[in-house]
Chains A and B, each alone.
Chain A
Amino acid sequence: MKSDIIQNSDERVVSEKDLLAVCHKIGDIGSKAERLIMGAASFWTGELNWARNRVALSSDRRGFIIRLTVVRNNGVGFASTNQFDDESLEGVYNCAERRALRQASHRGNDIELESGVTDTISALTWSDETFDRTANQKAEIVKDLLDKVEDRSLTSAGYIETRGAVSAHFSRDLFSKILTSSGKMTQAECSITVRATDGTASGWAGQSGFDIGKISERDIADTAFEKCLKSFNPVRIEPGRYTAILEPQAVADLTSLLLHDGLLMSRSYAERGMGPFVAGIDHGVQRIRSKMGLKIMDERITISHDPSDPELGVIPIPGLKPVTWVKNGVLNSLAFEREYAVNELNERNTDIHRRSFRMSGGNTTIEEMIETSQRSLLVTRLFGLNIIDEGSMLSTGLTRDGLWLIENGKISKSIRNFRFTESPIFVFNNVRQLGVPMPVFSPVGDPGVISTVPHYGLQTAIVPPMKVDDFSFTSAVDAI
């Protein structure tokens, strides 16, 4: 490792080359290991947080991490460190090895490793504008927003975060074959809530992505502002089944029930008879079949992830390839790890689970969906989702920060929030209209996880608005 990466105190992240050097150093130290996998990352986050029309906190946080997996004598050991001097690298390896040897008699060599795929996919997930967005620039934007909100006697809370990370991945398999890759990424998120000072109205908007240049904080603020103004004097209407116009955020929230859970999206889980994608027993081979190949949603819906899609913001890592989970409404693929690939498919490639996704759409605008509605509800977003039954994916949750009744092609009134009891699979089978997919908001999680396992940590979604029939709203709630 070159020492110059630490010479300049203005540097917020280290280079890919230096991170790879750290990985190779651990590889040298761990020459006895049967297998070795590691991810290293250096990251920075700048955050601005406000509430009650004043900035509550502005912060600058930086980080570095190495996550290490060692296999020795069929045992697996995990370790991580934030130090990259020689002693600490040796220390972290020794610790993981010690853990591996301790686990040897219990775990067996069942670790899921990288696939062995040698090609990596290039992705443009870095935005200088995001990385260079200063605290002063954020403060200027927020000041304008807060002045506007306060002048209208409303109150606002919100959050802007920008982040830059550089990461490197290293794996060495049983045959001493070494695979490395590296990349860098930025992430940005902005979400804003505008409320009546007495808490009787609330509007929200948000967006995230790798390029803050494509996220207009001012537009987000305007949307939240307008939603709040339209939310005053909400009335209570009876729960029941309504045609619902789900804004993209609500669609993403609903889809997350399926896409964010690695188990539900797992082929082996389905073939053990669990989760929503169990088709039944194939009596010919006496085993449980998944629903792969069967139609599970409206044929206009395709859900996919391409790691080279910059909008989904994934650093290229070995083994991550494009996948289409649902193709024209048919369950096309479910995730599987190396163990499944080797044992069940006799291949090395995997389709590892990831949370980012893109959903296909149509051309109908939300305005057109409203204009073509006799009586329906317009939903901004969903909150507090819980799965009640995995098999049917029946779930419950709440509407939040903007719910309106549409009558005769127009928004007629703001209404009180609802608790719903519904299944995303049912919803996606009752689609009437689809709009143009667009990026929505998803909170950027722990920087260490995002940077070293981005396919797991990132939850970026690009989804369309959707008009669906028979959405089940089961009870009214007073919360605003």
Chain B
Amino acid sequence: MISTKRRKLLGAASIAVTAQTLSSKPLYALIGARPEQVPPIEDPRLKQLIDQCLNSARDAGADYADVRLCHDFTRHYISGASEGESITIGVRALVDGYWGFASSPVWSVLESVRLGKASVLQAKVNTIGRKRDIDFTPLSDQPNGHWTMPVKIDPFEINVDEIEDLIWSMMYHTTVLSRANIGPLKGSFYRSEKAFGSTEGGYFTQRTYRSSGKVSFGVKNGQGGITLDCLSPSGVGFELFREQDLKQKLYEAYEEELLASALPVKPVDVGRYNVVFTADYMADLIGQTIGGATEVDRVMGFEANAGGTSYITQPDQMLGNFKVGGDNFTVLADRTKHGSVATVRWDDEGATPVDTALIKNGLLTDLQTNREGAGWLKKYYTTQHKTPKSNGSAYCPTASYSPLTHTANLTLQHSDNSSNFNSLVKDVEKGLVFTRPLVDTDFQKTSGFGMGRVFEIKNGERVALVAHAGILFRTPELWKSIIALGGAESVKTKGLKTTKGQPARDSYFSVTAPPALLKDITVIDISRKA
């Protein structure tokens, strides 16, 4: 039985809310005549709710509007254990080239109507300014239908004991290892259900997942703790834990740690070195230097007051001409790869993602775009005999936020040979190995530095740990320095988190990369001052 107060809340739709809900009772919405449990996202009546909102925006004067309904679930296990569930609705309206946005967590007809009007009001107040031209590129096809990310085990549909037991077992395995110190232990699962509709007529629903975990431990007298790198954010379900032999990986990591801590530690001798980066490290380098730098809004200066801009300063001139790396450097963007965390069927503007070569044989060939951003590149696309259209990079974490261009899944193309990390190391007579990345770049992604655990290589063997070693790089020079890339069997996929925008919002993307050997990398003593 729904209380009177509850009905008033939903009916009045006055308290606009953004929050997470953990409830052993389901959330409620007012879709029909009376409050009811929030239905599955595929419920056709949600389209009616969205249509109410779109009609309201259209009647208020919107040239275009789109609406998102989000129903999100989170569950965290062990460290920071909690559960959450939220519903949100957000509407974005375009009036004379200006965007307005309004959001709330109340799913009701009255609230939809209010939000539709409010978003138009927000857009209209800015039309007092100079004319804003917008080329809102059309979609190839209007989105239609439902899609569920293919996961094997929905972590919200299985017994929580099963999840907790498996994660706790990692602690058991860690504690039975002599000399091991257990660190944070965590499993996190996220399910997002979205419904989208626009005044162009498109309507879709989709369900996506994100799973991740953390198992950290250290070795007494070692050089610090280590974290299993196989549990980074992924577009899968509970199989992230169940289908990996975590016990085996734990023991391997432990043995690796013991071997490393047995090596002598020497101070860094600054200079230029041939460096082998693990696949894990390469993923971070790609994410930092290519991910944000090729987001079209960042390139065009929309992040100038926040995270920064890009080394791609003149996209019309640089696209098709600028060498970001050597001939062996090709980076692809996609939102279609199974298991990757940014994968969707439609983006948050209803665009079907298109696999895109951002960098082909070292040459900058495209950017990550949304519908408006593709219009900014019209001149370049015309020279390429392409119709400007979004490649599907629009994303918002919940309906509380308007969509921005966010980094898609990235793939650094591997070599055709059978090289792997060990064979790359074997080929180095004198050099360094960088593992456990901590990489950061400047606010234009032009240059950066990296730290981590660093080994000295002599005659193909790791012979010492190098203290305080770091790298300094300029992005184009870095990617022109690749001597060798690992083959298909050596690639790893890693999920990364990034933040952009004002207000700041998070997104996740996967990077697939092989290990690589790079020449003449500037190695510094990170602890040395000027």
Which A positions have Cβ atoms within 8 angstroms of B?
Answer: 1, 3, 5-9, 11-12, 14, 42, 44-45, 47-49, 51-66, 77-88, 90-92, 94-96, 98-99, 102-103, 106, 134-136, 138-140, 142-143, 146-147, 150, 155, 157-159, 161, 191-193, 195, 198-199, 202, 204, 239-241, 383-384, 386, 388-389, 394, 396, 398, 400, 417, 419, 421-422, 443-445, 447-448, 472-475, 477-480
Contact = CB atoms under 8 A, between A and B. Distances in A.
Contacts of B2: 85, 87
10 contacts: A51-B300, A52-B300, A79-B22, A80-B19, A80-B21, A86-B5, A94-B23, A195-B301, A241-B530, A443-B504
Interface string B428-457: 000000000010111111110101000000
B207 to A, nearest CB: 21
A80 B20 contact: yes
B122 A421 contact: no
A204 B440 CA distance: 22
A94 B504 CA distance: 32
B422 to A, nearest CB: 30
B305 A88 contact: no
Given A12-B16, A138-B125, A155-B304, 5 more contacts: A7-B14, A9-B114, A88-B28, A140-B128, A448-B19
Contacts of B22: 78-81, 92, 95-96, 99
B256 to A, nearest CB: 24
A139 B129 contact: yes
Contact of B438 (A82, A90, A204, A386): A386
Contacts, number: 302
A146 B129 contact: yes
A474 to B, nearest CB: 5
Interface string B1-24: 011111011001111111111111
B392 interface: no
B306 to A, nearest CB: 7
B3 A85 contact: yes
Contact of B81 (A78, A92, A135, A419): A78
Contacts of B23: 79, 81, 83, 88, 91-92, 94-95
A59 B101 contact: yes
A95 B305 contact: no
Given A86-B5, A94-B24, A422 B14 contact: no
Interface of B: 2-6, 8-9, 12-25, 27-28, 78, 80-84, 86, 97-105, 114, 118-119, 121-123, 125-126, 128-130, 132, 160, 164, 168, 297, 300-306, 308-309, 311, 313-314, 400, 402, 438, 440-447, 449, 451, 472, 474, 502-504, 526-530
A267 B478 CA distance: 42
Contact of B132 (A55, A106, A134): A55
B44 to A, nearest CB: 25
B447 A85 contact: no
Contact of B444 (A7, A49, A56, A480): A480
A139 B502 CA distance: 17
Q: Is the interface of B mostly helix, strand, loop or mixed?
A: loop
A63 B530 contact: no
A81 B301 contact: no
A380 B471 CA distance: 26
B19 A193 contact: no
A365 to B, nearest CB: 27
A11 B14 contact: yes
Nearest to A10: B14
Given A9-B14, A55-B129, A62-B16, A99 B81 contact: yes
B16 A84 contact: no
A54 B15 contact: no
A161 B300 CA distance: 22
A12 B16 CA distance: 7
B20 A64 contact: no
B15 A421 contact: no
A196 B144 CA distance: 43
Given A6-B14, A60-B118, A83-B28, A478 B474 contact: yes
B94 to A, nearest CB: 11
B15 A42 contact: yes
Contacts of A82: 17-21, 86, 105
Contacts of B122: 58-60, 135
A146 B443 contact: no
Given A87-B2, A239-B530, A473-B530, A95 B8 contact: no
Contact of A195 (B8, B130, B304): B304
A56 B99 contact: yes
